[in-house]
Structure 1
Amino acid sequence: MKSSPSIAIIGSGLGGLSAAISLKSAGYDVEIFEKNERIGGKLNILEKDGFTFDLGPSIFTLPQFFEQLFARAGRKMDDYVQLDAVTPHWRNFFENHQSIDLYQEHDRMKHELSKLPGDLEQHWREFTQFLEYAREQYQIVDEGYFREGLDNLWEFLWHYKKQLVAGKIDYKGSMASTIERHISDPKMRLIFEYFIKYVGSSALDSPGYMNLMPIIQFDYGLWYVRGGMYKLAQGLGKLINELGIKVHLNADVTQITKQGKQVTGLRLKGGSTHHCDIIVSNMEVIPCYEQLLKEPQSFVKKLEKFAPACSGIVLHIGTDKIHEKLAHHNFFYSEDQHKHFETVFHKKQLPDDPTLYVVAPTRTDPTKAPQGCDNIKILPHIPPLDEHASITHEDYLALKERCIDKMERCGITGLRDSIITEDLLTPIDIERMYRSNKGSIYGVVTDWKMNYGFKAPKTSNRYNNLYFTGGSTNPGGGMPMVILSGMKCADRVIKRHPIKQLQPLHAG
């Protein structure tokens, strides 16, 4: 017989689902408590006026991490989730310059580089050499940080001591400074800098090794979940049902009960309680300590280095025409992107001229809009909520109008007049819906000076049986990273709280 510890998981974002599947597959007794009416966390959906909007993540990358999760349960991902390749990866728009597409295929990418002024062979040489450098950074980070689940600076230094001495890890400079050394064309610099959008941070502050991010799509592809991104949550939900994991929906956790160095259970809105041996919080680290554990500010202050990444206004619009110039994924670049980074991340202000991420999923999946219509998401990065700031709802609405103006200046003419339905999320909505730290979309900011690029550890240093998963923990935000976070969180639980074999009772 086995004595299986009972585990309560707070939240059913991808990190929580990943941890639940991993732990249940290892023999643990697992239950999930989700405050909302459906699983998925920020991987959410809205149906409105014949349009189906994916409210959260829009890009699927690194499918191998998702496959590893299904494999833990003895399943194949293809039986639950199907993927379609997206090409081009992105379309990049600039004011007063033709657009440039990113392709995985070398011949098509080289053709795009011919749009740049100057010598094509130089541009191609710089492009391929930069990817070689980025590939080396990815391989180094993947070998330890990803695969081993390294969780703090000391684990990182110990694991990578040889590479650090040899200077193989690009950690001294910023992303932007390394890009500037490799790439001469200003437009391509903008493009490579904004790969930082995957983690909602600034290329001026993030360490150089974060330039690994182009490899995520140039080597492993960029994908769309067939039927819509929320199909990923539904596929994981199907697996959870098959594994017999109980999910409590509309179960708003208001308190974690505790005794000494142990957490003992959950209290839900309405007063009911649930006792357990171990708690895994998919709620972000700082809000969990502040709101559910009521820790003193003297303790919470020590976590300030794990500051929230950026937030955004998330505008979903349905139009009565198809805007043919848009690809599935698009970026509209600020005329001064470094000023944009400074404004959002240092001054904590709304940008006058933001860089925009724009998604038109009907390029791959026409069912997301009525025939002849377009489904478009517009996302500028903005500061998280700040009680000392004076940003109002009217300021968010004014930014929304600037975003549409920006797109129209870059060639998406008639966009505003074509809108027939819309939905807007602000940082206030994001915080309310997901209890994210100050409305952050991507968890913890990646900032070398602040946190050496690290997120919060998955293991609590205050309670022996409390763990964390999701975008506020290592390895950080983005769907593949939070899936990996859940698996590595489970590995730590399994190592520290093994299932004990009970001795059978013998008569006389």
Structure 2
Amino acid sequence: MKTDKGNIVVIGAGLGGLSAAISLRAKGYEIEIVEKNAQVGGKLNVQEIDGFTFDLGPSIFTLPQIFEDLFQRAGKKMSDYVELTSVTPHWRNFFEDGLVLDLLEDPEEMRKELGKLDGRAEDHWKDFQSFLAYGRNQYRIIDEGYFDAGLDSTWEMIRHYGLFGLFNGMDWKHSMSESVARHFRSQHLRWIFEYFIKYVGSSAKDAPGYMNMMSLIQFDHGLWYVKGGMYELARGLERLAADVGIKIRLNTPVREIAKEGKRVTGVVLDDGSVLSAGHVVCNMEVIPAYKHLLKEDDRFMKKLDRFAPACSGIVLHLGTDRIYPQLAHHNFFYSKDQSNHFDTVFQKGELPPDPTIYLVAPTRTDPSKAPEGCDNIKILPHIPPIDPERPLSESDYEAFAERVLEKLERMGLTDLRKHTVVRDMLTPVDIEKMYLSNRGSIYGVVSDWKKNKGFKAPKRSKKYANLYFTGGSVNPGGGMPMAVLCGQKVCDRLVAHDGG
């Protein structure tokens, strides 16, 4: 099968695939994207039910400069495609003892908010400031190398930073949870800042300490909402792709990636037709792609065990006939024992009896997402990915969802079930089917120091010289900004290897 160096096929129109395609098109490559679903965006998805518009996937927008860089690569302005509005407070945190504490971007407002905690407010403010300084340093180190240079392995990290820089500046000796505990005397603040790990669907007890940079990202660079709904980002990128001349084939599943020796030659579609390519960029998660599209044997697949899936979740979308005024845009309802929550989900692989729950009420920022006088509520507790040896039933997931709703009602959302007029639920089985994710993972590869030193899969295949991967299972990992950054760095790596 003849290949054409100038032609690239991208499998999947998720954010990583769109970002890679747009970046590569800006370098002069001919790009065609094939997407199995009827719309672009991957897990960034949307559903409308009886006047309620639910964002099925990501709900938090951070690091807008990464997205702006993508538009700049294509010679365009992001503001012509996507409009952002800031969200305040960042989060509202609800605890079983009745404390409600906001995270606020304004330092003076945040300082006053810390006065709600037991003990001296000045002590909590010093802890908070110390932690932000520590997180700021971690972000500076990670951003300068791992992010900006698109590093993919320990050896690349050592070459870039040097041994002294790597081992004396970056917090890798402690877990994320341990470093949080070293900075905060308040248990409430420990739980809050541990749960920034939700951005990558992992355990703060297993993730390396440098992951504490995530709180700094939010406090220094803001938290945002895409005007019109989060899916407007996907629509904006789709328009950008069209404007730069990228062809997107929707409703086009890929059966396999064609290969000859140590090179791939294109993709075979479900209908048997072949798209030849000089390179293939795969936005499907790495393990499912090697297993299902490349048909690799068990010996090869064993090498990928360290790229275990991050957690999954039950995603509940509720439309209610009343408004719950105590909710902010983003809310967290904490477990009585968050350490046990992490252990149950990530070590035992079981449904947690008392989960920490993320809840989004987007009508606080965008009233158009629900009929007047109603609330739009998305609920996401983290749970284990699918275990093929111990699969859970639909009734298991339903019983867990009821337990979550009971907890929310107990913590102040009175008669939530009674006032629900629209209800939709996604389970890990649904997520795996919709997005071909590894065992229904939401966030790609788990961040676990013992398993993978916090690394995700590399952008370039170790087996096929012209096969590249992008998205949440690939460095730098899960979340919208990381997926978009990954696509840009895939472009940089491909172009450099191609002699560009």
- TM-score, normalised by the number of residues in structure 1: 0.97
How far the C-alpha of 1:379 sits from its partner, in A, is: 0.2
Cα distance in 1, alignment partners of residues 475 and 305 from structure 2: 16
Alignment match, 2:26: 25
Q: Matched residue of 2:99: which SS?
A: strand
* 1:434 aligns to 2:428 (yes or no): no
How far the C-alpha of 1:230 sits from its partner, in A, is: 0.4
Alignment match, 2:68: 67
Alignment match, 1:157: 158
Contact kept? 1:200, 1:310, Cα under 8 Å: yes
Cα distance in 2, alignment partners of residues 123 and 159 from structure 1: 37
Task: Give the RMSD, CA atoms, in angstroms.
Answer: 1.0
Matches within 5 A, 1:348-367: 348-367=349-368
Question: Which amino acid in the other structure matches residue 475 of structure 2?
Answer: N
Cα distance in 2, alignment partners of residues 300 and 166 from structure 1: 31
Contact kept? 2:472, 2:482, Cα under 8 Å: yes
Contact kept? 2:5, 2:277, Cα under 8 Å: no
Cα distance in 2, alignment partners of residues 396 and 153 from structure 1: 38
Cα distance in 1, alignment partners of residues 407 and 304 from structure 2: 37
How far the C-alpha of 1:274 sits from its partner, in A, is: 1.0
How far the C-alpha of 1:498 sits from its partner, in A, is: 3.8
Q: Matched residue of 1:149: which SS?
A: coil
Cα distance in 1, alignment partners of residues 163 and 136 from structure 2: 18
Question: Which amino acid in the other structure matches residue 332 of structure 1?
Answer: F
Question: Which amino acid in the other structure matches residue 442 of structure 2?
Answer: I
Alignment match, 1:419: 420
Alignment match, 1:52: 53
* 1:132 aligns to 2:130 (yes or no): no
Contact kept? 1:163, 1:169, Cα under 8 Å: no
Contact kept? 2:8, 2:277, Cα under 8 Å: yes
Alignment match, 2:496: 495
Contact kept? 1:4, 1:29, Cα under 8 Å: no
Q: Matched residue of 2:94: which SS?
A: strand
Cα distance in 1, alignment partners of residues 176 and 409 from structure 2: 30
* Cα distance per residue 1:137-179 (max 9 Å; x no partner): 0000000000000011111122222544662111011010111
* 1:170 aligns to 2:171 (yes or no): yes
How far the C-alpha of 1:192 sits from its partner, in A, is: 0.3
Alignment match, 2:228: 227
Unaligned runs of 5+ in 2: none
Alignment match, 2:103: 102
Cα distance in 2, alignment partners of residues 176 and 276 from structure 1: 45
Alignment match, 2:147: 146
Cα distance in 2, alignment partners of residues 466 and 4 from structure 1: 12
Contact kept? 2:157, 2:166, Cα under 8 Å: no
Alignment match, 1:502: none
* Cα distance per residue 1:416-457 (max 9 Å; x no partner): 111001110000000000000110000000000000000000
- TM-score, normalised by the number of residues in structure 2: 0.98
Question: Which amino acid in the other structure matches residue 97 of structure 2?
Answer: N
How far the C-alpha of 1:280 sits from its partner, in A, is: 0.2
Cα distance in 2, alignment partners of residues 493 and 138 from structure 1: 26
Cα distance in 2, alignment partners of residues 433 and 130 from structure 1: 39
Alignment match, 1:200: 201
Alignment match, 1:388: 389
Cα distance in 2, alignment partners of residues 53 and 12 from structure 1: 20
Q: Matched residue of 1:415: which SS?
A: coil
Question: Which amino acid in the other structure matches residue 457 of structure 1?
Answer: P
Q: Matched residue of 1:298: which SS?
A: helix
Contact kept? 1:442, 1:471, Cα under 8 Å: yes
Worse-matched range after superposition: 475-484 or 410-419: 410-419
Cα distance in 1, alignment partners of residues 17 and 286 from structure 2: 13
Alignment match, 1:284: 285
Worse-matched range after superposition: 103-112 or 14-23: 103-112
Cα distance in 2, alignment partners of residues 393 and 108 from structure 1: 44
* Cα distance per residue 1:65-109 (max 9 Å; x no partner): 000000000111011000000000000001122210000101111
Alignment match, 2:407: 406
How far the C-alpha of 1:200 sits from its partner, in A, is: 0.3
Contact kept? 1:404, 1:415, Cα under 8 Å: yes
* Cα distance per residue 1:366-415 (max 9 Å; x no partner): 00000000000000000001111142111110111111111111111121
Q: Matched residue of 2:221: which SS?
A: coil
Contact kept? 1:476, 1:482, Cα under 8 Å: yes
Cα distance in 2, alignment partners of residues 12 and 332 from structure 1: 33
Report how many aligned residue pairs link the two structures. 497
Cα distance in 2, alignment partners of residues 163 and 395 from structure 1: 50
Alignment match, 2:466: 465
Q: 1:166 to 1:312 in 2, by over 3 A?
A: closer
* Cα distance per residue 1:279-314 (max 9 Å; x no partner): 000001110000000000100110000000000010
Cα distance in 1, alignment partners of residues 5 and 27 from structure 2: 10
**Percent of paired sites with the same residue:** 60
Alignment match, 1:5: 6
* Cα distance per residue 1:196-248 (max 9 Å; x no partner): 00000000000000000001110000000000000000000111111110000
Matches within 5 A, 1:243-392: 243-392=244-393
Cα distance in 2, alignment partners of residues 166 and 473 from structure 1: 23
Contact kept? 1:4, 1:27, Cα under 8 Å: no
Question: Which amino acid in the other structure matches residue 267 of structure 2?
Answer: L
